Amino acid sequence: MDIKPYMEKIGKKARIASKVIASTDSKTKKLALTFIAEALNSNRQKILKANSIDLANGESGGLDYSLMDRLELNESRISAMIDGVHQIISLPDPIGEITDLTDRPSGVRLGKMRVPLGVIGIIYESRPNVTIDAASLCLKSGNSTILRGGSEAIKSNQAISNCIKEGLSTAKLPESIVQLVETTDRQAVGKLITMSDYVDIIVPRGGKGLIKRIMQEAQIPMIKHLDGICHVYIDDKADLEMAFNIALNSKTHRYGVCNAMETLIIAEGIAKNILPRLAEAYKRKNVEIRGCAATQKFIDCSLALQSDWSTEYLAPILSIRIVKDISEAIKHIACYGSQHTDSIVTQDESRALRFIREVDSSSVMHNASTRFADGFEYGLGAEIGISTDKIHVRGPVGLEGLTSQKWIVFGHGEIR
């Protein structure tokens, strides 16, 4: 297959479809999503059968355990996908919302109207549920979508994509509003991220290797995050019980997530009162500790290397650093952090406010677990990803991040 014309055809169709879905009313979009949910439900067997082919191929191809786990579908995972669609149906439609109306001295009335971005390209790995999550969010926000899943999930993604097509067509909308790239050729990704005439934004979801490659080659803006090196700083004016709970929860609630704490920073004045008890608790959860030299004076642990401060473990490993004060903590975060999520634990309001002002991360917290940095916790309903960039959108990204605003002017014949 010749990839370039194949992808360009997809791009052209997506651009045309984007004009249709941009001006489709809320009721029709809800209807389409409802039909998609119904199609998923009535095609459970087909989806599971397709998934079993992917799983068999994965096994014979030696796919590792964690990828196999993410790839696998079952009845309850399909039900979760359907629930996800219903959740998106219940969210308010952001498109067409008019805000910031003001009357200008010239006599014109000025405002802003929320509009879709256009065509969104999603690049992801393994998990077939991203196919339906991403497609539903983009459809609800009035965008057309080009989906490029991992080659290991191609059959599952095709089966899900067929349900999406069925739903769209039942709602009398063009099937090309959501298109799946049906080749596993890696050149398709290279083309997708450079077709700036047809694609308005790329959302890469997956491992660091994938995202780095896309960053280097893309000629289209992206919503992305690379690392989640999150910190909790325990100030010497912290409540000990609260600090203990937040430090433990931020690390051990889940290990493989981007908002888990990777480095714990402790003010030297409070270290001896909290470190031994914390180390004990981490030990019970089998968390390996790598501490700075000062940490080793209080607890038994291996010495952290320079590289530990900039490593996202995504595992039961924690680095600990003892600092003089909040200034040193902020410096450490600026130097080694990834601008994802950082939290201070303190009873001192002015220090908390200083931390919140000066730490340059997409989420900055006071007396709360880093695990709260999440679209659902923030009330976005669902999230397409997390952005650690400052351009366009930052932090957990829901429907609004997939939209833009245009200026609207209501006049009465005003001229300049």
- Of residues 308 through 327, those in contact with its own copies by CB under 8 A are none
Tokens of 354: 């200083």
Q: Considering only residues 239, 312, 348, 400, which one is a binding residue for its own copies as defined by CB under 8 A? A: 239
Q: How far apart are the first and last CA of the chain?
A: 57
Of 290, 305, 302, 299, nearest to 272 by C-alpha is 299
Unique residue bearing structure tokens 């959501």: 178
Smallest separation (angstroms) from its own copies to the CB of 220: 9
Q: Considering only residues 213, 312, 356, 400, which one is a binding residue for its own copies as defined by CB under 8 A? A: 356
Smallest separation (angstroms) from its own copies to the CB of 41: 29
**What is the CA angle 97-99-101, rounded to 5?**
135
Q: How many Cα atoms occupy the beta-carbon half-sphere of 370 within 13 Å?
A: 31
Of 105 and 209, the one with the shorter C-beta distance to its own copies is 105
CA distance 292 to 298: 11
257 binds its own copies (CB under 8 A): no
CA distance 144 to 19: 8
Per CB under 8 A, the segment of 42-50, 99-107, 123-131, 187-195 that binds its own copies is 99-107
Tokens of 40: 């998923």
Q: Considering only residues 71, 201, 265, 318, which one is a binding residue for its own copies as defined by CB under 8 A? A: 201
363 binds its own copies (CB under 8 A): yes
CA distance 329 to 323: 6
Tokens of 319: 């680095």
- Of residues 333 through 352, those in contact with its own copies by CB under 8 A are 334, 343, 352
Tokens of 295: 């940490």
Smallest separation (angstroms) from its own copies to the CB of 38: 29
Q: Cα-Cα-Cα-Cα dihedral of 249, 247, 393, 197, to 10°?
A: -70
CA distance 134 to 121: 10
Q: Considering only residues 38, 174, 366, 400, which one is a binding residue for its own copies as defined by CB under 8 A? A: 366
Q: Specify the DSSP element, H or E, that contains 279.
A: helix 268-284
362 binds its own copies (CB under 8 A): yes
66 binds its own copies (CB under 8 A): no
- Gyration radius (Cα) of the chain, Å: 24
Binding mask 42-61 for its own copies (x = CB under 8 A): --------------------
Q: Considering only residues 76, 99, 350, 391, which one is a binding residue for its own copies as defined by CB under 8 A? A: 391
390 binds its own copies (CB under 8 A): yes
- Of residues 118 through 157, those in contact with its own copies by CB under 8 A are 118
Amino acid at 10: I
Could you list the residues that contact its own copies (CB under 8 A)?
A: 19, 22-23, 96, 102, 104, 106, 108, 110, 113, 115, 117-118, 200-201, 221, 239, 241-242, 245-246, 248-250, 253, 334, 343, 352, 356-358, 360-369, 371-373, 377-379, 390-392, 394-396, 404-416
